[in-house]
Amino acid sequence: MTLAVPAPTAPTAVPRAAGLRATARITARADGGGTTRLPVLDGDGPIALRRLRAHGHRARVCVVGAMSAPLGGDRLAIEAVAEQGSALQITAAAATVALPGRGADHAVYDVRLTVADGACLEWLPEPLISAAGSDLRMTTTVDLAPTARLVLREEQVLGRSGEPTGALRSRLRIRRAGRTLLDQETAYGPGAPGWDTAAVLDGHRASGQLLLVDPELADDPVAVRLLGDAADGAGAGVLAPLAGPAALVTAVAPDALRVRRLLDEAARSHLQFGL
C-alpha cells in the first residue's frame, strides 16, 4: 500500500514592518554640588548619543546619526528631560537628511523636551535637509516649568544642492506651566500651497528660528527688530517678543549658512548670549 504524502507547503511570509522604530532618551540631573550628571543616555537605532566634555556645570550631549535616517516609513523620536536645577545642552554632529523610503509612507520625527524648575535646556541641532522625494512630518513638543529656561534652534534646508525639495511639515509646540506659549506649524514642498511665494519664502531655500524662554524676560521683554537686508539677497529675519517671558527670531535666506548668521547675530546683539 502506498501512502500519499502531501507536498510541503511554503511557510507563510511574515510581513516586515515598514521603516525603523527608534527612540533615544536623555535625562540630566543636578548632583547638588553644582554639576549636572547624565543618569540616562540611551541611543537607539540610527540615533547614537555621545557625551561631550562638560562646560561649567552644564552637561553636553551630541546626537550622531548611526545610519541614513529618517527614511520614508521611519518613526524616530528623541526624549530629553532636564530635571530640577540641571543644565543640559544637546547638539548634533551633522545635518539630518530626510530621504525617500522604499514605500510611499511618510517619515515621522518627534522631539519631546521637558524642563523642570530652575533647569536650563539648550536644543541646538544642525539643519534638517529635505531631500527630493522625501516626506517628513516633524513635531517638537516642549513642556516647561514656570522657572525653566529654554534655548531652541530649528533650521530647515529645502533640497540638496541642485535638486528640488521634498515635502516637509513641521510643528513646534511650547507649553509653560501647563499653558500654551507657542504653537505653530509650517509646510513646505509638494502639497503645501503657497510655500514658495513672496508671502512665505519668496524664493529662499532655507529657513530657521531661534526661541529663548527666560523668566527674566517677563520684566524686560525684547523690542521688535528687523534683521538683515532682504534687498541684498542675503536673507532677512525678525525678532519679536511672545506673550510670555520669551522671544522668537525667524529668518529666511538662500542657504543654511546665511540663516545661521542671522540667528547668531540676533542672539549676540539683541538677546545677549552666544551659541
Tell me: the pLDDT tens digits for 42-63? Answer: 999 999 999 999 988 999 999 9
Task: Give the pLDDT confidence of 102-150 residue by residue, as tens digits.
Answer: 877 999 999 999 999 999 999 999 999 999 999 999 999 999 999 999 9
**Average per-residue pLDDT for the chain:** 90
Task: Give the pLDDT confidence of 1-46 residue by residue, as tens digits.
Answer: 444 444 444 444 434 346 889 999 999 999 988 899 999 999 999 9
Whether the pLDDT of residue 246 is over 90: the answer is yes
Contact 17, 27 (CB under 8 A): no
For the residues 242-271, what does the mean pLDDT come to? 94
Domain boundaries, the chain: 21-201
Using CA atoms, how far apart are residues 228 and 232, in angstroms rounded to an integer? 9
Nearest residue to 63 (alpha-carbon basis) of 7, 116, 119, 122 = 122
Q: Is the pTM of this model over 0.85?
A: yes
For the residues 207-236, what does the mean pLDDT come to? 90
